[in-house]
């Protein structure tokens, strides 16, 4: 039980890219996804977060990438940690992304995963990763997957995420083709609610997404790169088609140009596949040996390209930043 003084911890987490997308929520509490999903946690991009519970604070405070920000989305997670640990003090939270925030680069996944690890560590809770993953899921479902490294499955139940293969399981590079540095206009939370409400294709998406996720898991277990790539591109296009039919458009002209270029490269025999989340960036899945050729071909169409590979899950950092 922490009542007085300061208790502080830092954590690092990496974004994850869903190969099989989650889009839509179950009815009721708990932020439970309507479909299962499968992701790869990436190294090459990171969120570092420090949480300190301080007795002199009169409210929770958040500083995101150096700028004071609303605590609306983090207070629920902090409250759950406080209740479990018997803490009565507010928290100062500092979080830094080394990639664009809130633009469809999964900053909420790494952000809430880092927050969940830092907050539980600062509070002295020694929870198993599955429990921390469930804590993160309630804040943002994709964050549940970033608690684990490598390839991770998130069920459409309140059970949460489980790792299915380590980072070394598949030879994979993800080329994150950044198309803009600006923030997205519709959050994924709102975008998926609108899709559920308005898309005529939502029921079909739900059915297909469940099958696609199972097929992607098989392809992954078999290390069948091309099947995995094809199915991942299918998952992304189906999700966007379903959302677009509800008026939710995340892709921009550069996204479509990149998508076309990926298909052209594929026609020429290169094993490259595209996936896009709730934003305009295109993430290209490629074998590591082909990453250089693909980067060279796609560079003129992107503002910049970040190369990432499968990486580790979220973890507490020894060093607490000042
Ligand atoms: C397109 O996890 O950001 O990236 O749970 O409402 O915070 P909330 O949504 P979020 O949605 C992620 C959507 C996606 C696909 C995915 O990561 O599975």
Going residue by residue through the chain, which has 322 residues, state the pLDDT in tens, using 9 for 90 and above: 444 457 999 999 999 999 999 999 999 989 999 999 999 999 988 999 999 999 999 999 999 999 999 999 999 999 999 999 999 999 999 999 987 665 456 678 999 999 999 999 999 999 999 999 999 999 999 999 999 999 999 999 988 799 999 999 999 999 999 998 777 679 999 999 999 999 999 999 999 999 999 999 999 999 999 999 999 999 999 999 999 999 999 999 999 999 999 999 999 999 999 999 999 999 999 999 999 999 999 999 999 999 999 999 999 998 655 4
Q: Which atom of ligand 1 is nearest to the CA of 189?
A: 6
Residues 6+ apart with CB under 8 A from 131: none
- pLDDT, residue 4, reads 47
Q: Is the CB of 276 under 6 A from ligand 1?
A: no
Ligand 1 atom 14 nearest Cα:
277
- pLDDT, residue 105, reads 64
Q: 23: CA distance to ligand 1 center in Å?
A: 7
- pLDDT, residue 158, reads 87
Q: Which atom of ligand 1 is nearest to the CA of 22?
A: 18
Q: 4: CA distance to ligand 1 center in Å?
A: 37
Q: 129: CA distance to ligand 1 center in Å?
A: 20
Q: Is the CB of 189 under 6 A from ligand 1?
A: yes
Q: What is the DSSP code string of 187-235?
A: -HHHHHHHHHHH-TTHHHHHHHHHHHHHHHHHHHHTT-HHHHHHHHHHH
> Cα 251 to chain center, whole Å?
18
Q: What is the DSSP code string of 151-194?
A: EEEE-SSTT-EEEEE-GGGS--EEEEEE--SSPPSS-HHHHHHH
Q: Is the CB of 19 under 6 A from ligand 1?
A: no
Q: 102: CA distance to ligand 1 center in Å?
A: 11
Q: 185: CA distance to ligand 1 center in Å?
A: 15
For 19, counting Cβ atoms within 10 Å of its Cβ (0-12 exposed, 13-18 middle, 19+ buried), the class is buried
For 261, counting Cβ atoms within 10 Å of its Cβ (0-12 exposed, 13-18 middle, 19+ buried), the class is buried
Q: 89: CA distance to ligand 1 center in Å?
A: 30
Q: Is the CB of 233 under 6 A from ligand 1?
A: no
Q: Is the CB of 212 under 6 A from ligand 1?
A: no
Quick one: which H or E segment has residue 31? none
Token pair for residue 235? 């998952």
The three-class DSSP label of residue 53 is strand
- pLDDT, residue 126, reads 96
Q: Which atom of ligand 1 is nearest to the CA of 31?
A: 5
Query: For the chain, where are the E strands, in sequence order?
Result: 6-13, 16-20, 37-43, 47-54, 61-64, 67-69, 90-97, 151-154, 161-165, 173-178, 272-275, 282-286, 304-310, 315-317
Q: Is the CB of 18 under 6 A from ligand 1?
A: yes
Q: 152: CA distance to ligand 1 center in Å?
A: 14
Q: 113: CA distance to ligand 1 center in Å?
A: 13
- pLDDT, residue 256, reads 98
Q: Is the CB of 107 under 6 A from ligand 1?
A: no
Whole-angstrom Cα distance, residue 97 to residue 110? 9
Token pair for residue 176? 């994150």
- pLDDT, residue 185, reads 77
Tell me the angle at which helices 107-122 and 129-139 cross, rounded to the nearest 10 degrees: 130
Tell me the angle at which helices 225-244 and 202-221 cross, rounded to the nearest 10 degrees: 170
Q: Which atom of ligand 1 is nearest to the CA of 239?
A: 1
- pLDDT, residue 159, reads 83
Whole-angstrom Cα distance, residue 117 to residue 144? 11
Q: 280: CA distance to ligand 1 center in Å?
A: 14
Q: Which atom of ligand 1 is nearest to the CA of 137?
A: 5
In the block, residue with structure tokens 């899709």? 195
Give the CB-side neighbour count of residue 97, counting CA atoms within 13 A.
19
Strands 90-97 and 61-64: parallel
CB 287 within 8 A of CB 171: yes
């Amino acid at each position: 039980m922490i009542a007085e003084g300061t208790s502080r911890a830092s954590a690092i987490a990496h974004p994850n890219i869903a190969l099989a997308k989650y889009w839509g929520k179950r009815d009721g509490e708990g932020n439970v996804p309507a479909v299962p999903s499968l992701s790869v946690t990436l190294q090459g991009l990171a969120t570092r977060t420090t949480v300190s519970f301080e007795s002199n604070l009169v409210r929770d405070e958040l500083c995101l990438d150096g700028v004071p920000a609303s605590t609306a989305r983090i207070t629920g997670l902090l409250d759950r940690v406080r209740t479990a640990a018997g803490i009565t003090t507010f928290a100062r939270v500092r979080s830094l992304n080394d990639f664009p925030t809130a633009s469809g680069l999964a900053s909420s996944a790494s952000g809430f995963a880092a927050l969940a690890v830092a907050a539980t560590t600062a509070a002295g809770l020694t929870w198993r990763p599955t429990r921390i993953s469930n804590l993160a899921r309630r804040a943002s479902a994709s964050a549940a997957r970033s608690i684990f490294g490598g390839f991770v499955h998130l069920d459409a139940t309140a059970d949460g995420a489980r790792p299915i293969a380590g980072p070394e399981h598949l030879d994979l590079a993800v080329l994150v083709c950044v198309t803009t540095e600006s923030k997205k206009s519709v959050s994924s939370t709102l975008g998926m609610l609108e899709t559920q409400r308005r898309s005529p294709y939502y029921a079909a998406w739900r059915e297909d997404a469940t099958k696609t996720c199972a097929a992607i898991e098989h392809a992954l277990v078999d290390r069948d790169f091309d099947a995995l790539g094809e199915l991942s591109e299918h998952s992304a296009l189906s999700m966007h088609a379903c959302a677009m039919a509800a008026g939710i458009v995340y892709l921009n002209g550069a996204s479509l140009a990149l998508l076309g270029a990926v298909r052209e490269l594929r026609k020429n025999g290169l094993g490259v596949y595209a996936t896009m989340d709730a934003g305009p960036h295109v993430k290209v899945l490629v074998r590591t040996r082909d990453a250089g050729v693909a980067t060279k071909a796609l560079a003129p169409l992107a503002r910049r390209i970040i190369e990432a590979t499968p990486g580790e899950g979220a973890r507490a950092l020894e060093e607490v930043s000042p």
